Each structure stands twice: as structure tokens, then as C-alpha cells.
Structure 1
Amino acid sequence: MREFGIKPFSELTERIPDPHLLMRRGVIFGHRDFDVVLEAMLKGKKYAVMTGLMPSGRMHMGHKLVIDQLIWYQKRGAEIFLCVADLEAYSARDISFEESKRYAIEEYLANYIALGLDLGKCRVYFQSKNDSVKHLAYILAKEVNFSEMRAIYGFANESNIAHIFYPMIDAADILHPQLEEFCGPCPTVVPVGIDQDPHLRLARDVAARVQKQFNFIPPSSTYHRLIPGIKGGKMSSSRPESAIFLTDSVEDAKWKIENAFTGGRATAEEHRRLGGQPDICVIYALYVYQLIPDDEKLLEVRRACTSGEMVCGECKAMAMDLMSNFLRSHQAKLKGAREKAERIAEMI
């Protein structure tokens, strides 16, 4: 990590008042220049958080990780910028703008509201409608040549121009909170998975190239681990069997948990004797990332697993109960949240 300028997040955790559980538990494992953002947070100065959503497919528990962080930042005075990446959905996935809007409202913005994010206090926008972002992208594009884009993203001669230009829209998304018409130059953090780091490096590079014109502060970033899929691998909307969606029925969620990959032994007897392996267990990952906010309770579950005191059937039953309670509560809030999301989207 360090060769790319990414430092361990654990170096900062003790300085953060009431850190988010994802910070405490090492799910957020790395950062680039987050200390700049933290300094602004601790001194009550202006800072921004920038993130985006891809309006394609249903929202699952993995997507929830970023929203949990946004809620935490919002409570600590951050200016939240939330981008609906409808230009990317169009250029990379051939999703129409109308379809993107429907996905954004029904699957994402409504769920964000139900989870507790105050969208009324966020700067929510669709890329296709944001002239500031598109104008900035064009200015930034003058600073980048095709050889650089090909080296970063692997573009080939057959790549279409919209796809090639899109990373400049992404860089503009990251940097535009610092335009004078918004926050002006200020610390800005983008919470991402490590797979998104090329976008952050490009944004930082072009920020330096236009420093005299805009006085941008290089954007900061934090890096979180991705929640594993039900059978291992990555949780993904494109593989419904891998994910627990926020709109899944309780019955479907229970079935997925029942069939999830665990760190259990071949037999109950062997499990009692050798203990389980929580670090490779999808059920335990759900506890770490989402279902058990109490650290002492989580450690007790881990101890019961590794000692063999708790077998996988008992652990799955507990996970089913916790997930069922979450889904029932969340989906009850979701009914009213969709109307709010519609109103917000119409005002953008």
C-alpha cells in the first residue's frame, strides 16, 4: 500500500472521537491524507465528503457500508456531495437516463433516507444535469493525454469516446466540491474500496496540474474492505445469489444465510474439538460489518466460535434473527422514504 501513498488507518483511530465501528474494527484499513480531513473535523472547520452511486441493480448490504460512513460524517458537520453516476451507467453499461433515474430513486435514494441519511442536507446531483461537473471535466481533460488514460484504464483503439472521456467526469466529481460556487478549496474525503484507487490517483494528479487555476487541496481517501458474498467472493448486484438486498424478503434473506459459506469444520464433533474459523466465515463477516454493533458482544461470538462452544447452525440462527429484525425495521421506513426520494429527485 505504501508505494501508492496509502497508510494504515489504524495510525489515526485513537485520534478520532467515537470512531465508526468500521474504523474500530479495521474494515476501513487504509487512507491517503485523511489526517488533513481529521484536523478540519476536530477544529470545526469546513470539510467535504464526496461519493457516488451507480444506478444499476438493487442495493445490497455491501453498498450500505458507504452510507453508514456518510451518516457518521454528516453527524460531524461534513458537507456531503452525492453523485448519481448516470453518465457512467450510460457509457459503460448502456443504461438509459430514464432507467438510471428510476433505479436511483427507488433502489438507492429511498434506501439512503430509510437508513438515516438526511438527503435534504446533502448536495445530491445527477451527472448528466450538473453543468459545473461537466465544465470542470472538460477543463481537466486538457491536462491528460490518451497514453496516460490507456495506462490507467486499459483503453484500446476500439474503446468508444464516451467511455474514454468518462474518467474525467469522475475526476471532476471528486474535485468540484472545492469550486468557489460550492465549498471553495477545503479538505475532501472520498470513501472507497481499494479497486477505486486509480480514480483517486488521477484526480490528485490533475488537481496538481491545475493548482494555479483552482487552488485545489489534493483529495483524501479512505479504503474499506468489501463485504464478502454469500458463497465467498464479492457481494454483487449482478449475481443476486451472492448478495442480501435491502429489499429482500425475510424468507429470502434467511435462505441465503442458511446456505452461506462458513468457517465451520466438516462435522459438529470436529468443530467442537478444533473450533471454528471466523476469519473465513461469511456469517461472521456480516456480524463484523453490520449486524453486531457492540464490540464486546462481537468478541464473545468470536470466542464461542473459535472454542467450538457455538456450532454453525446456532450461529446462522442468530444471524437470521438479527438480519430479519433489521430488514423488517428498514423496510417499514422505506415505504415513506420513496415519496421523499421522488420529491428530492424532482428538485435536482
Structure 2
Amino acid sequence: MNTKLDPWGSVNIDDYSKLFDEFGILPFEDICSELPDPHRYMRRKIIFGHRSYDLITDAMKNKDPFSVMSGFMPTGGGHLGHKMVMEEIIWHQKMGADAFVGIADREAYSVRGVSWEKCRQIGVEDYIVSLIALGFEPDGHIYFQSESDNVKELTFELGSKTNFSELSAIYGFSGETSVSHMVSTLSQSADILHPQLSEFGGPKPTVIPVGADQDPHMRLTRGIAHKMNMFRIEGREDKNNNKYFSVRSKAAPEGALADIAERLPWDTKLFEGHVDVFGADNYTKLLNTVREVEIEYGGYAFVPPSSTYHRFMSGLQGGKMSSSVPESIISLKEDPKAAAKKVKRAKTGGRMTLEEQKKLGGDPNNCSAFELLMFHLVEDDKELEEIYNECICGKRMCGSCKALAAELMTEFLTEHQEKRELAKDRLDDYGL
């Protein structure tokens, strides 16, 4: 496929399953059954892939600490595509995650040339207010990249483990790419990793809900997380096929390996550069001990971040959804009546004539109106399935689907905008 995933460009993915082979993304449906109350995006395979999400499901089951983190680049108004990420963050927060939301103003300034003042205005009015209106709780963390000392300091440290060749291979940077643009990619990595700083409880699984076009940030950050850690744990076998673990130093301070050997309850043998561990029957205890020592010696012991990937919504007229084409999107601040008119003009999967529709049925898989119902407007799976089946068998006409979607969209936007007004009065609760 040779797909190029560009976080700042326009990506059109025709077959999401090809991302499994090309980028190592795993199918989400294989892990969805382990969740007690999956979000509708998960149930409906709108979230189609993941990296290391098993760490998150294990944390949920065991009531262990975990985080969710994602962000928004303040270059334009929030729309239904952004609402998807907001909902995923809020769902994880309700499932027990410590939630982080970053406004990527350093990225907007360096990549799009948006002024700092405009970044703050858009960040608050278009993204943060809608996030709160949708249900984000005050115990979460909302911040601007340019105002977070944690993010700025961590960005500098991550830079010591990254070079231009790596950024060029992942993002296609050239000699014409500005330094600030390159630094903004490290700011993204700092966003992703900073929920694991000691200030927020230390190393823990962290999930990043994103669209597939953001996967380059995940690949970069997972690689940097491994590089930043002082140790790696390897499973090995001796000549008699007896299995054991070897804790290998990656330039760890003197004495750190000896401390690990001393604290472990199993047989150990200390060498220069590594300590071998025999008879370990609890990998979690081994891992936690190694992390504990690393933190005491000034390291981070990052858990490589997990991620989920959702499908993109198509534009209302078909093709790609784009903020530069107003008729293709619905803004979260849009007049409900104007939005309803857009829905009624949306592209559907209907036939050329009413007679053909009744005879052959429609195609809900290629219908913007049905997509709105599936992604945003109908929570009940049985109701959605009934609409789908009535469409494909020719019982339901496009006009009725459009009318239903327009009515529900009007209701949603009216209610959301009322909640937005209330949210503006609560910004102090979120430290803004």
C-alpha cells in the first residue's frame, strides 16, 4: 500500500486493515470483548486498531493506575471529528483513567503560523469549552503546551535521544523543515509521556486515542520511551534450556544494578552491565523493582504508550471531511438549523429512483446520513441495526434517514450549545 501517514497533511485511507501489516497496528476487535462497558466506537468497530491496549484493559481489571492523553491543535473550530476524540478521552476518564488534554499551541505556531493569542482563544473557546460541555471532569488536567514547564523541560530531554535522521524517516522532514517544526514533534512526545512523571504518580500505562494519521507520533514516542529508560529486561535460556531473566543496563549509574540484585527475592548473579535473575515467578514484581530503582537513580522508567485508532468520518458531500470545505463538516458551534439543512443535503447511499431503492435497497455503508447516526446520534445498537436493515432491504427511504439525522443533529447541537454556555462559567474549576 505504501501509505504515508502525515499528521499535518490530508490522509485518505481506503482500507484500514492494511495498516495492520504495514505499520504493525493490531485489530481492536480482538481485545474489545475484555472491556466491561465498551464505548459505541469500540462496539461498532469505528475504533479499529490499537497498540498495546492490553496494558489498559489489565489496568482496568486490576484497578491499577492508568492515564488517557490526547490533544488538539488550535488552528480552526472544533467539529464532529474532534468530538470523537473528546468522547474517547471522557470515556476513559469514567473508566478510571487520570485524564490529560493538551492544547498544541507550539505545534500550531510552528506548523501553521497561528499567533499565540489566537491559539489561546481558539483553544479555550472551541476545544476546552466543548470538552467540558461533553462531560470532562475537573479532576483531569487541561493545559497549553507553551505554558507547561513539565512538557517544555521533557521536550528538551527527549531531544537528546532523537536525531534528524530519525525524524526525517518518520515524518519525511527535509533541509527545508524549520527547527521549530521539528521541536514541535518532540513536544508531542513530551505530551504523551508526561502523565508518567513522578508529579502524576510515576510510570503507568497511558493510552492515546487518535486518528490513524497521528500514528507517526506514536511510533516516535514509543521508540524514545525505550531509549530514555536505563534498563531493559530480556528473557533468556541457558545451555540446559533453563529460562531466566537478564536485566541489562543502558548506561545506568554505578550501583544501580547492584541495588536491583539486592532487592530481588530470587537468586541473582551480578555482572558488569547486567544482572541475571533465576527462578523469578512474578514478572510484575521484577519489573516494578527495576522501575523503582531507576526512578531513585533519576530516571523515568517510562511505560511505552498505548494507542487506539479510529476511522475518519467522511465529508457530508462524500470524500474527505475538511475544515476548508464548510459544507463537508458540522461545527460544534454551528447554528442547529443551518446544520440540519446541511444534513438534508448530505450524500446518501440511495439508488437513482425510488423504484430501484425499494427493489434493490440502499447502501448505508456509503451514506453520510447513516454515518452521522452511527458515529454520533444513535446510542442504541439495536435501533441502529434496525435502520441499517431497513435500508438494505428497501423498506427505508433516504428522505426518512435524512429527516431523522437532521432532527437528532438539531437536538444534539441545541443541547450541546446550552451546555457550552454553562461550561464557560466553570473554566475556573479547571484552572483556566
Identity across matched positions, percent: 46
Which of 68, 77, 91 is the aligned partner of 2:110? 91
Pairing 1:115–2:148 present: no
Superposed counterparts of 1:1-348, under 5 Å:
1-118=20-137, 120-212=138-230, 213-341=299-427, 343=428, 347=431
Q: Is the 8 A contact 2:192 2:305 kept in 1?
A: yes
Letter aligned with residue 328 of structure 2: S
> 1:228, CA displacement in angstroms?
1.3
In the aligned structure 2, how far is the partner of 1:171 from the partner of 1:332?
35
Structure 2 SS opposite 1:29 = strand
In the aligned structure 2, how far is the partner of 1:269 from the partner of 1:286?
25
> 1:78, CA displacement in angstroms?
0.5
Letter aligned with residue 171 of structure 1: S
> 1:53, CA displacement in angstroms?
1.1
> 1:4, CA displacement in angstroms?
2.7
Structure 1 SS opposite 2:200 = coil
Task: Write the deviation string for residues 282-311 of structure 1: whole angstroms up to 9, x where unpaired.
Answer: 111111111110000001000110011111
Q: How many residues align?
A: 345
Residue in structure 1 matched with residue 237 of structure 2 by the alignment: none
Structure 1 SS opposite 2:150 = helix
Q: Is the 8 A contact 2:59 2:66 kept in 1?
A: yes
Using structure 1 for the length normalisation, give the TM-score.
Answer: 0.96
Between structure 1 and structure 2, the one with the greater Rg is 2
Change (3 A) 1:340 1:238: farther
Q: Is the 8 A contact 2:75 2:119 kept in 1?
A: yes
In the aligned structure 2, how far is the partner of 1:37 from the partner of 1:273?
47
Question: Cα RMSD between the aligned structures?
Answer: 1.2
Long gaps (5+) in structure 1: none
Using structure 2 for the length normalisation, give the TM-score.
Answer: 0.78
Task: Write the deviation string for residues 24-75 of structure 1: whole angstroms up to 9, x where unpaired.
Answer: 0000011110001110011111000010011121111111111111221111
Long gaps (5+) in structure 2: 1-19, 231-298
> 1:225, CA displacement in angstroms?
0.5
Structure 2 SS opposite 1:245 = coil
In the aligned structure 2, how far is the partner of 1:3 from the partner of 1:238?
30
Structure 2 SS opposite 1:23 = helix
Q: Is the 8 A contact 2:69 2:89 kept in 1?
A: no
Letter aligned with residue 71 of structure 2: G
Letter aligned with residue 100 of structure 1: C
Task: Write the deviation string for residues 190-213 of structure 1: whole angstroms up to 9, x where unpaired.
Answer: 001111001000000010101113
Higher helix share: 1
Letter aligned with residue 97 of structure 1: W
Q: Which has the higher contact order (CA 8 A, sep 6+)?
A: 1
In the aligned structure 2, how far is the partner of 1:67 from the partner of 1:177?
18
In the aligned structure 2, how far is the partner of 1:208 from the partner of 1:295?
40
Letter aligned with residue 282 of structure 1: S
In the aligned structure 1, how far is the partner of 2:336 from the partner of 2:162?
49
Letter aligned with residue 384 of structure 2: L
